[in-house]
Structure 1
Amino acid sequence: MSDSNELDPEDRKIVTLARSARARNAVPEGAAVRDETGRTYVAGTVALDSLKLSALRTAVAMAVASGATSLEAAAVVTSADSPPAEDLAAVGDLGGAGTPVLVAGPDGVVRVTVSAG
């Protein structure tokens, strides 16, 4: 377990943004990613009849659609123990293998950092 106070300020920021997205939209997950220029993209779970996306995959899609060419880090706030393989693959597709994914609980405390790809 990691205390979010031990995080780099930029990592703490994406965890806070992910937590805010989850709470604001009353969705199961919130996520944020930081691209190679330091821009952040924030998303919540998408659950439409015709489209279902995790928060992390939605944040990655937003980054790609906005012209990001790489990711520095990602964060997801979830009650799950870890993101599914598909989410890590999406982060890895854009950020490369080894991109850190911070996994925090609903309280915002980072429980684990996993590597994408």
Structure 2
Amino acid sequence: MTDNSALDPEDRKIVTLARSARARNGAPEGAAVRDDTGRTYVAATVELPSLRLSALRTAVAMAVASGAKSLEAAAVVTEAETAAPEDLAAVRDLGGAGTPVLVAAPDGTVQLTVSAG
């Protein structure tokens, strides 16, 4: 478990945004990514009859659709113990293998940071 006060302010910001998206939408997960220019993209889980996307994959897709060329960091708020392999792959595709993914509990406490690689 990570003390959130020790996080970089920009990392704390994406965790807060991810938590807010999850709460606002009553979704299983919320996520946020920060691109190489500092812009953030926030998403919640998408569950439609014809389309299912995790929050993190949705946030990565939003970044790509907005023209992001790379990612600096990602965060996901979830009840899972870690990020799903498919989510890490999406982050890696845009940000590279070393992109950190902060995995936080529903209360926003960062449980661990994993590499997208």
Query: C-alpha displacement at 1:12, in angstroms?
Result: 0.1
1:98 maps onto 2:94 in alignment: no
CA distance in 1, matches of 2:104, 2:17: 12
Query: C-alpha displacement at 1:11, in angstroms?
Result: 0.1
1:23 maps to which residue? 23
**TM-score (normalised: structure 2):** 0.99
Query: Structure 2: which 5+ residue stretches go unaligned?
Result: none
Query: C-alpha displacement at 1:37, in angstroms?
Result: 0.2
Query: Structure 1: which 5+ residue stretches go unaligned?
Result: none
The alignment of Structure 1 onto Structure 2 pairs a total of residues equal to: 117
CA distance in 1, matches of 2:82, 2:25: 21
RMSD: 0.4
**TM-score (normalised: structure 1):** 0.99
- Equivalent residues in 2 for 1:1-117 (5 A)? 1-117=1-117
Structure 1 runs of 4+ aligned residues shifted over 3 Å read none
For each residue in 1:41-68, what CA deviation from the matched residue of structure 2 results, as whole angstroms up to 9, or x when unmatched?
0000000000000000000000000000
